Amino acid sequence: MIAIVLGTRPEIVKMSPIVRELQRRGKPFKIVHTGQHYSYSMDKSFFEQLKLPDPNVNLEVGPGTHAVMTGRIMEGLERVLSEMKPYETLVQGDTNTVLGGALVCAKLHLRTGHVEAGLRSYDRRMPEEVNRIVADHICDHLYAPTKLSRELLLKEGMDPKKVFHTGNTVVDAVHQNLEIAKRTSQKLKELELTNAGYILATSHREENVDDPVRFKGIIEGLKKVSSRTGAEVIYPVHPRAKKRMEEQHIDAMGLRLIDPVGYLEFLQLESRALLVLTDSGGVQEESCILGVPCVTLRDSTERPETLTVGANILAGTDPESILKASLKMLERSGKWSNPFGDGNAAGRILDIALG
């Protein structure tokens, strides 16, 4: 039996192809939802939209500091996984759920596989960087999404026998879930964007929105891009960003601020945008796969492959740099090669995990 441990919506998205492949093969599995960001009751509709089975276990750890959250996750997973005794436990990405899952399995001597292993930003101000490094060094199977991520793991001294270049499940997920979105989402019509060119923006990372200088720089940069290009900038505002915007008295006049949208709705918005400006790692990947130019509102990225193929550019948070990078990326054709694989990553991962 395979245990799939997840706790945030990006993890659900990137694990969805693995769940579907397990179902297709008729192999036994169980889903453990830690509730790191949301309780399962809040995520239930998300599972339903993606046509995934309900989790078998809900830990409901809830919010808290990194230490409190990780501690609760470990306490719950130790109890659950001790009883399940899975053949392999799969964790994905770089969240506190990944860190907690990897640590518990290492202590219990249960085999673990890290999906999307080997990503590095080399910026330890990001808690995600610490999580992914620790997980990579204690998991038994490292499923590297790209050749570069595999090389980085080998340079860190990992045993080549446990490092596998599988491709990234985000490619599987984008293709599978975009088809669902096209059938079910009416967001473009609701926002009257069906025939209009627009730019999509996201910003939610702690190091950006919690820093008044950086956040103000991002908003001013978005306003400059809109003014210069004449394209409307659509910004679904994360609750954290909205709160900081109010606290920091940041003027977002000239941008179209909308409430957060669901994953399928966002995927549809993303697929039709002229340009994406973001500080999200996952959005960098998705836009690259969709052929939509991307500007990253950070000083570093753990997805350097997007830079190499020309799908993305780092702009930081200086307004003029954001404008310059945006104008440059708007000239790109979107015909770059996708470095994240062919959409069959889930199958390769399960061939190894079940082997």
- What is the rounded end-to-end Cα distance, in angstroms, of the chain? 12
What is the sign of the dihedral through the CA atoms of 154, 160, 162 and 166?
positive
Phi then psi for 296, rounded to 5 degrees? -95, 125
- If you count them, how many residues does the chain have? 355
Set 33, 109, 204, 249: catalytic member: 204
Of residues 252, 232, 226, 233, the one with CA closest to residue 241: 252
Collect all residues with Cβ–Cβ distance below 8 Å to 100 and sequence separation of at least 6.
34, 70, 73, 74, 77
Please check whether residue 153 is in contact with residue 144, taking contact to mean a CB–CB distance below 8 angstroms: yes
CA dihedral 273, 280, 261, 206 (to 10 degrees): -140
109: which 2 tokens? 């001597």
CA–CA gap between residue 270 and residue 303 (Å, rounded): 18
CA–CA gap between residue 117 and residue 332 (Å, rounded): 29
CA–CA gap between residue 314 and residue 322 (Å, rounded): 9
Active site residue 204: yes
Collect all residues with Cβ–Cβ distance below 8 Å to 65 and sequence separation of at least 6.
none
Strand 112-115's sheet: what is its strand order?
A: 57-58, 29-33, 2-6, 88-92, 112-115, 141-144, 163-165
Residues designated as active site = 204
